[in-house]
Structure 1
Amino acid sequence: MIVNEEIQTPRRLRVFKRNCEQLEEIETIGATALAMAQQEASFLNATVRAICDDIGYPLVPPTVANMSTSHFGIYAEYNLLIVPLLESRYLLHLPDIYHELAHPFLHGRYENRSVLDGYRYAFKAAMVAVSQHTRSAVLYAKRERAPPAVELQYLFWGQAWQKYWLEEFFCDIFAALSCGPAYAWSHYHLAIKQGDGAFSTPTNKKQTHPPDDARMRIILFSLQKLGFGDECIVLARAWSDMLALRGERAEPEYRQCFPDNLFQTIVDLAHAGVDSMNVNLAVPGALTRWSERLNEAWTVFWRDPEAYSNWERSRIKILEDTTGPRR
Structure 2
Amino acid sequence: MVFDLFLGALLQVKKRALHLQEVAVTNPRSDLRDIQRQCIEKLKQALAEIDGLIVETETIWRQDPSLALDLYRHLSDQVFIIERNGVFSLIHSPESDAFLTKLIQQICRDIGFPVLAPTVSQTSRTHYRFERQFNLMFVPPLESRFLLHLPDLYHELCHPLFSKEYKQLPSLQPFRTQFSNMVLDRTQALTQQMQMLDRREGPAEEMLRLNTWLASWAPDWLEEFYCDLFAVFTLGPAYAWANCYLCLKLRENPFATPSEVKVEHPPNAARMSIMLMGLRRLGFDDAADGCSALWANQVQTTGYSEDMAFGQCFPDTVLEDVVSNAFKAFEDIGLRRSEPGKHAGVALCLNQAWDSFWTDPEGFGEWETKAVTHLQKELAGAAS
TM-score of the two chains, using structure 2 as the length reference: 0.80
The separation in 1 between residues aligned to 2:69 and 2:172, in whole angstroms, is 37
Which runs of structure 2 are paired with 1:80-99 in the superposition (5 Å)? Answer: 80-99=136-155
Of 249-258 and 192-201, deviating more is 192-201
Aligned equivalents of 2:111 and 2:314: distance in 1?
Answer: 30
Q: Which has the higher contact order (CA 8 A, sep 6+)?
A: 1
Instruction: List per-residue Cα deviations over 1:15-49 (Å, max 9, x = no partner).
Output: 45423321221122111111123222121111111
Moved more, 186-195 or 294-303: 186-195
Residue 170 of structure 2 is aligned to residue 114 of structure 1? yes
Residue aligned with 1:64, SS: strand
Q: CA deviation at 1:144?
A: 6.2
Whether the aligned pair in 1 keeps the contact of 2:208 and 2:259 (CA below 8 Å) is: no
Let me know the Cα RMSD of the aligned residues: 2.2
Q: Which amino acid aligns with 1:88?
A: S
Give the equivalent residue in structure 1 for 2:378: 322
Which one-letter code corresponds to 2:313 in the other structure?
C
- Residues 1:268 and 2:327 aligned together: no
> 1:230 is matched with which residue?
286
Alignment TM-score, normalising by the size of structure 1: 0.93
In structure 1, which of residues 209, 229, 252 is the aligned counterpart of residue 265 of structure 2? 209
Q: Is the 8 A contact 1:40 1:85 kept in 2?
A: no
The correspondence for 2:109, drawn from 48, 53, 75, is 53
Q: 1:180 to 1:195 in 2, by over 3 A?
A: farther
* Aligned counterpart, 1:169: 225
Q: How does 1:1-327 map to 2 (within 5 A)?
A: 4-5=58-59, 10=64, 14-142=70-198, 146-324=202-380
Task: Report the number of matched residues.
Answer: 326
Q: Is the 8 A contact 1:46 1:323 kept in 2?
A: yes
SS of residue paired to 1:69: coil
CA distance in 1, matches of 2:181, 2:258: 25
How far apart are residue 145 of structure 1 and its match? Answer: 5.2
Supply the distance in 2 between the matched residues of 1:60 and 1:84 (Cα, whole angstroms).
Answer: 22
Q: What SS does structure 2 have at the residue aligned with 1:25?
A: helix
Residue type at the aligned position of 1:28: R
- One-letter amino acid of the counterpart of residue 208, structure 1: E
Report the 3-state secondary structure (helix = DSSP H, G, I; strand = E; otherwise coil) of the residue aligned with 1:208: coil
**Aligned residues with identical type, % of pairs:** 33
Q: Tell me the distance in 1 between the aligned counterparts of 2:234 and 2:228.
A: 10
Contact 2:208 2:260 in 1 (8 A): no
CA contact (8 A) 1:184 1:219 kept: yes
Unaligned runs of 5+ in 1: none
Shift of 1:74: 0.8
SS at match of 1:200: coil
Corresponding position of 2:30: none
Q: Contact 2:213/2:262 (CA < 8 Å) preserved in 1?
A: no
Of 36-45 and 99-108, the range deviating more from structure 2: 36-45
Cα separation, 2, equivalents of 1:128 and 1:120? 12
Bigger helix share: 2
Report SS of the residue matched to 2:362: helix
Q: Which amino acid aligns with 1:123?
A: F
Contact 1:280 / 1:288 at 8 angstroms: preserved in 2?
Answer: no
CA contact (8 A) 2:212 2:261 kept: no
1:92 alignment partner, SS class: coil
Q: Which runs of 5+ in 2 are unaligned?
A: 5-56
Show structure 1 runs of 4+ deviating over 2 A. Answer: 2-20, 135-146
